[in-house]
Amino acid sequence: MKPGGATVQRLAAFAAVLCGWTLLSWALHSPRLELFPTPWQVAIRMAELARTELGGDIVASIAEAFGGWVIGAVLGILVGALIGRVTLARLLLRPVIDFLRFISPLAWVPLAILWFGIGYWSKASIIVLISFFTVVVNTAHGMSTIDADTAKAGRSLRLGWSQRLEVVLMSAMPDILVGLRYALGAAWGGVVLSELVAGDTGLGALEIYGGQSFDVAQIMVGMVVLAVLGYAANRGFMALQRRLFPWIVANWAP
């Protein structure tokens, strides 16, 4: 592909989406209630909200998503490494992880509210759970499927404990990165889910207030901003991965 070809394709796809959105909005137009506003109407509403609460809601959602993701990722890597490399930990922890990870994140929200109240931690804790279960499964898989010759090579070369740990981590890194990336995407969905139920700030709360006032454009502003932030986070993660681990090919093309 020629330089800039991918950018042209993305812009063309974006333009096609806007055109389709506009045509569908016109087709569904109701004289009594704007149930499907055009992109232009959403842009106007976004500009209005930008002068009031939109900036604060964006900051709140970013803080909850990234804070919960980081904590969940660290815990997931640690526990996943134990499950993948230590037989006793695998026997004790894996059944518990497999049991708990099938509980819907929404089911944890009432407990989070009771434990932490309405605020940052009640929402971030949901993101911690979502990220933890995603990362721990991928990390455990990566750690448990390390080639036996790789582990033996570290021992035969009489590498130190830290050096052998580095060899193991680098061998499992493709699976760990997949888990981190999927967890980052899930974090954005989780933060809105938690804000819809237990939040007074954030993009989820913005959408709830829009629904209560029949302001469909405001709901779509929250959706669009969420999509942009999630896309930017994903692209940033891929760029960081290429810089730090250039030998690992990302699953999706840049």
What pLDDT shows up at residue 183? 95
Of the chain, the percentage scoring pLDDT greater than 70 comes to 85
Identify the sign of the CA torsion 177, 178, 179, 181.
positive
For residue 169, give the CATH number of its domain: 1.10.3720.10
User: What pLDDT sits at residue 253?
Assistant: 46
**183 with 135: CB under 8 angstroms?**
yes
Asked if pLDDT for residue 83 goes beyond 80, the answer is yes
User: Rounded to an integer, what distance in angstroms lies between the CA atom of residue 220 and that of residue 207?
Assistant: 8
Q: Which of 120-134, 164-178, 191-205 has the highest mean pLDDT?
A: 120-134
Structural domain includes residue 122? yes
The verdict on 7 and 62 lying in the same domain is: no
Predicted pLDDT of residue 196: 76
Cα–Cα nearest to 205, from 194, 216, 217: 194
Q: Is residue 252 part of a domain?
A: no
- Structural domain boundaries, residue 22: 1-28
**Do 166 and 58 have their domain in common?**
yes
Q: Any idea which of 13-27, 101-115, 224-238 has the lowest mean pLDDT? A: 13-27
Number of domains in the chain: 2
| 250 lies in some domain | no
First CA to last CA across the chain, in angstroms? 12
Does the pLDDT value for residue 31 go beyond 80? no
Residues 6 and 97 grouped into a single domain: no
For residues 8 and 90, membership in a common domain is answered with: no
Residues 150 and 115 in one domain: yes
Tell me, yes or no, whether 83 and 158 share the same domain: yes
Average pLDDT (225-250) is: 86
Whether residues 159 and 234 share a domain: the answer is yes
Q: Across residues 88-112, what is the average pLDDT? A: 90
Domain co-membership, 18 together with 96 = no
Sign of CA dihedral 88, 92, 95, 101: negative
Contact 45, 217 (CB under 8 A): yes
Q: How many angstroms separate the Cα of 201 from the Cα of each of 11, 111, 113, 215?
A: 32, 19, 15, 17
Backbone angles phi, psi at 38, to 5 degrees: -75, 165
Residue 150 shares a structural domain with residue 227: yes
Instruction: Looking at the structure, tell me whether residues 202 and 106 fall in a common domain.
Output: yes
Tell me if 76 sits within 8 A of 182, measured CB to CB.
no
pLDDT digits (tens, 9 = 90+) for 118-162: 888 888 999 999 999 999 999 999 888 876 666 666 566 556 666
pLDDT for 48: 92
Q: Does residue 253 fall inside a structural domain?
A: no
Residue type at position 215: D
- Mean pLDDT along residues 100-124: 88
Q: For position 157, what pLDDT does the model report?
A: 58
Q: Which pLDDT band, with edges at 50, 70 and 90, does 69 fall under? A: very high
Domain co-membership, 57 together with 179: yes
The reply to whether 1 falls in a domain is: yes
pLDDT at site 94 = 92
- Quote the DSSP letter at residue 147: -
The residue with greater pLDDT, 71 or 23, is: 71
* One domain for residues 120 and 184: yes
